[in-house]
A and B are shown apart, each in its own frame.
Chain A
């Protein structure tokens, strides 16, 4: 039961279990991994159909994703986007990369356990199409980023005065619709597959 009061007594492991359960219900997938397991986990998730991946580089990605992306040397094309748009940026080829990409990779700012939500603040999501165009989305998060619920989250950012950011996105599971006779279909316009890797620090 959630209540609109901050709950503080849950352990990170318990929160992760909640997050996992929510992700399951949403048709997304999540894994709890140790720091040195990130690479191998990603490798195992990169199915043969993923030939091209675009990564939006932010500090968390730098920390946990190796300089050479798993599988990069064998037929996997990896596009790396810097945190801030460079002066010589070509929008056409950026879009083209994302249209052709099979997967995107980005780091979360927070993850909300109750609703299975990935929170992306504008300053860590300046390449928004990375989480929208490719059919598969990988999100890197840490266990420390786990928050029990939406109320606790907003309580937290209110206290830390975190409203200077441009844009904020909540992503809860794959894209979906029930518009055709209430039949649930995943992956309408946004990604159909969503993986969240939660790193135990």
Chain B
């Protein structure tokens, strides 16, 4: 998708104004938070699990290339053909080549964030392939020609009447607001696609170094359809998505499922090792992995940012973020949203193209609290701010004002004097001239006639006079 991150500030009023979307999203998020909290409360040693997962991920990321090599070697042993793609364009070309090699026309796809990141659908459709999104939320978004607004529930911004209208228009069914009927419609249509598809494309929640396998976590079963029915299976994998061993699934599935949807386990988890063996009745005849870099190596070079690569894409941080709750996912302008999106998008797209995102946060820290792999998200947001200030031109008066304040704050005398002057100015100049951001909706407090410092000095003077 074409990033709209540069228009972040400009587009905010539009996103905030939409009361119905805000209410829909609010209800959905409240439910997600409630379920997540209940599921987490069941795990006596949740905090230790987080700590352990953080350490495992740190080990993986700190030795990423060695781990990737081992993963690739093991996958090849299983008969998987593995490619490395340096960037989006390479990944898409390789995918195209694979599809062409197998004369694939119809491609069914399950949810994959990295596929959205590289613009897989647009690329392949432009090349003449039919690409069908099979996750119900993504199916709805694809029909509506929109982009996802949430990681787990891409269509949570859409109300039932909107979806009903969409299905009636695009799928020719009689208008119905019954979610069962809408789902049944999607099921029927998609089943035909699954059965006819030449290639199934999925992501991978985890790549397992120990055996070159991948784990796919889902609830609908569309993922299973994609990697079982078509004769070719292609997994698009962000190169950071590795875990050391099969048995690390216990900890990561527990953290992921409870954080994402409040489930103990999702309906289906598959650990796949490759194309079908001769004694199997089904499964893909050919399996491919594309391990995608696309700027991830630049994260590795930075001690702070590399922690962002621990992310297991659960979206718990989106749900608890009061900024996300109010502006919704589309406001972020790109694939990754919420706190993790605000932290990593400037690195993916360039600081100058996403300079607002890290600042659009009160740094409340709710995100860091819920992150299952203990990424210090609000610290990363702060870190990106410091990089933006260092590398880009600051807003006009900002640097000057801060420098002046600093100079004044080097001396208590000067500071107190400045306060006195400011108090006078405040009485003369209407505050909407210098503080409109605040005063549009809030009353500005007045500078006190006598500062605390004044009070204290006067007391000392009085005290000294008494002694």
Contact = CB atoms under 8 A, between A and B. Distances in A.
A/B: CB atoms within 8 Å of each other: yes
Interface of A: 1-5, 22, 26, 81, 84-85, 89, 91, 94-95, 99, 112, 114-117, 122, 126-129, 132, 150-151, 153-155, 157-158, 163, 166-183, 185, 187-191
Interface residues of B, number: 73
B330 interface: no
Most buried by B among A166, A180, A188: A180
A179 B272 CA distance: 26
Nearest to A162: B246
The 9 closest A-B pairs by CB, nearest first: A190-B221, A179-B137, A189-B221, A154-B250, A115-B264, A127-B281, A188-B220, A175-B221, A170-B269
Contact of A182 (B156, B225, B247): B156
Given A180-B136, A181-B179, A185-B183, 5 more contacts: A4-B45, A132-B221, A158-B247, A176-B219, A180-B179
Contact of B42 (A1, A151, A176): A1
A178 B155 CA distance: 10
Most buried by B among A116, A175, A188: A188
Contacts of B271: 167-169
A132 B250 contact: no
Interface in B249-287: 249-251, 253-254, 261, 263-274, 277-283
A147 to B, nearest CB: 11
B124 to A, nearest CB: 22
B369 interface: no
A92 B123 CA distance: 32
Contacts of A3: 43-45
B182 interface: yes
A185 B228 CA distance: 23
B264 A129 contact: no
B135 interface: yes
Contact of A188 (B43, B44, B136): B136
B358 to A, nearest CB: 30
12 contacts: A150-B250, A150-B265, A154-B250, A166-B274, A170-B270, A175-B268, A177-B137, A177-B219, A179-B140, A180-B182, A182-B153, A188-B136
Contacts of B163: 180-181
Nearest to A135: B187
A49 to B, nearest CB: 16
A169 B280 CA distance: 15
Contact of A170 (B44, B137, B265, B273): B265
